Structure 1
């Protein structure tokens, strides 16, 4: 906000000159002060308050507002309205005397003005030329430089150009990558239960491969134990099993034998399983296994017997008769004798009784048996060529790489993974790992490797992760056009089911929203800081959030908080401290301005020259504290 007094001297004795004589002064205000660059535009509002008796009927009064590039000290107040060469037009205010003549209130008018910014405009000043006209006759006054509190209004604040692209200032030194890794899909597996059923000959508790389907069951159990054991680097890492089982007997035979037979059969199955475990190096854990069996004897076998009857080939009358015997009066032996007297007893002996001579075991394996140590040990062997890549699943490769802070390891592991799992996720994550190594080591040869991986990934599936990473890679190569093209594609595709992508894309959206702003109040800065509030935690995202608040000029404390968050992440970032100095200048806090500007210049000496010509600091440039900060 500036108030200024403009006096146009007129020495003519004509109607226009008479108007000028009674025009003692006109008051003008300009917002903002200093002028500010937003996007490619310098916009401001000029308000004029004119003396009540200045305007006469039939006379039109105008103010031509221009910006002059160059040194204000070389400007000389003009006469007859002759402007210096190379002025840039900003706007014109016109007032009709007929509208205001005879009024009692001072005429007031405001108008928004702007001009397209060029680099030559950073240093310059505003001039005003007055024009009074009546019919075909007119007179021009000035131009003069606009003054504010005795100082010329000079320069354009280019603070909006501090906006930082998503690569500017990022770091992965703490082990957190700023690039987009596809979700690995790794989750803790649910407990897995497998049932093993062994059938026995009549009256026997001996396990034989030739009975029923025992051979297939035994082979399946062996293969399962062998496959599981081979996944673990150490015997001690093999998970403990919990085994529950049941055993039974068929109704025929002596009671004394049947009472003991289920227990004997369950022990036989348990011993068979233990033998398999020992054969595949489970010995150290076998004693901790929990084997629990429900040994069904005599009357306890009837419920299962009746179920088998219902599923047999007996007709409905026969089934009813059998169930009637079982549910009728008498003891176990008496009921068995009645069954033996049935004409279709042999059918039951063939179809039902053999199914009662069993022992079964349900073995539960805890989910996700492999530990990170197991998988890392296997990865080491795979990298050395001691084991093939298929010893780990794609999900396990992706999970281990994404959660390892050593980016070189990520590259080594994923380079092996892609030989077996040539998927979009593996290729994308390998490219992201290459970018992490490039960022950490400053070896840009890895950027080209990354782009090659992203091209392969894109050929398999287009995803937001791939295009985001391509945008980052192109920025690292300095190709802003291709970077913008890739980022737009990433935003178009979206985050999908990857929550981390939402934060990365919000950072991109916020960055472009700042660039699209054309004024303080067009809504773009608000859009930007709202997006950046949920963006990934990176220096450029925190910085841009603070910059959006600063450029909107409504909440400098929020701007300061965001800049401080960026400084906390990287206390060697000169641009962040420079921005904090700008905030302090706008708040009139000379102490914080000096402190932050001094820190910025110490970290990056080039900022001294910028500060000297920065319109943000114009009113401080003659102060000793400012000069001390940039010395």
Structure 2
């Protein structure tokens, strides 16, 4: 009995599989009667996508409960690359009836990249059941090739180094401040004072032009009792400097240097300034100012100040800095030669020398002394670590951009463009200006980051600037808007972009894409006036002529394009715009140089 049960179960399973297989096979066989169309028949790039519509109709018998028939769409390009596009399935609720035939109409989009041209849109029928058994038809071609006319854009994306306007200092100034004890003129030479710094400067033997010594006093009683105290402090420092010149300096002498003694008269001005910028509460400041601006002598006012709660603060933090002398030295620094600056920058990069051996500007200038991008990169990176200056970020971004243009490996090229955009954005935020944001936008544009590029272009426009730079911004913004399919926005931007070759080319393209074949040629002709024998302008005119079916004009323009640039021969052969004329004698004659 058990044996008979197993026998009937196995037979039932076999029948089920056979019936299922028969159903799937029948669906595949019926698929020969399906009708599938693509609109447009010739796929065309729009912005950054390939947009198209697929309409599929199948016989009524192909809609069943136990099995589902559908279409899988793929796009094949390159040597063996095939990307999934989407799927259409004739399940209940997914189709409508048109002329008694189940019908599905659906829009699809394929992200466009240059390597996808040429390519093929393929479909494959798939019949499947709930048990995941399936049968497939052979793959069929729905469309072949791409129309890429919308990519015939002219753009600039100019990104150049920002010059530092480096000039070796012909004259420099060194200012050293000295502080004195209450009522005293003696120089304090313990650790932390500027006496040792002044010594080092004199012994460095810089050619010195003049020395101004300014000295002041505080309103304290011990200071007020010595009316010549400020002048005496000046004299102490002048004697000290002259003595050091006689002993240590072999470049300068006391007769060649102009000394300018400037003792300050007793005044409350410096005191008031320090009090106003102090950490004292406003009410305490007001009390102090009421006394100082009131009636009485210096000494009387000082005695009144001593009665205030804030007097201890004045003794600790205000009076000591008023007992000062300032030495301002005008000198000619020792000029470094270019090769010295370059070699020192390499030592800084290699961490073989301290960053202080070059000024911030000298280090950035060093990057201009080498033609090697790798060396420029390291020097600007060292400059960023040292100064965080916007020009270092900007010029490092330019270096990465130039490296990317020389790089043929896609992944590394993209990484370099990413670093370029990052550094140019850092620069633009540290120095917000139309020019810096335009450069950042250009880097994003070249990398294919449309949203980031548009934002940076907009920032550049909002910041304002001279007409020349703003016209460049609008021109490249318009080029990007064409590339992403925003034709009306591009035409708006082009209104403010000036009358250049680039803008005439792009305006002509906008009108062509809007199918205005009467006005579009006018702009290409204007472009040719600025750039005679331009291949792109003649090629675009040939496309317009092809679209309006003017064979003679098409052949004439195409011939001029090929004469100007032989790469347009293969381009024309592969271009679907010229497919109807490919085997015509006049077309082939036009491609001969």
**TM-score, normalising length: structure 2:** 0.44
Higher RCO, Cα 8 Å, sep 6+: 1
**TM-score, normalising length: structure 1:** 0.42
**Higher Rg:** 1
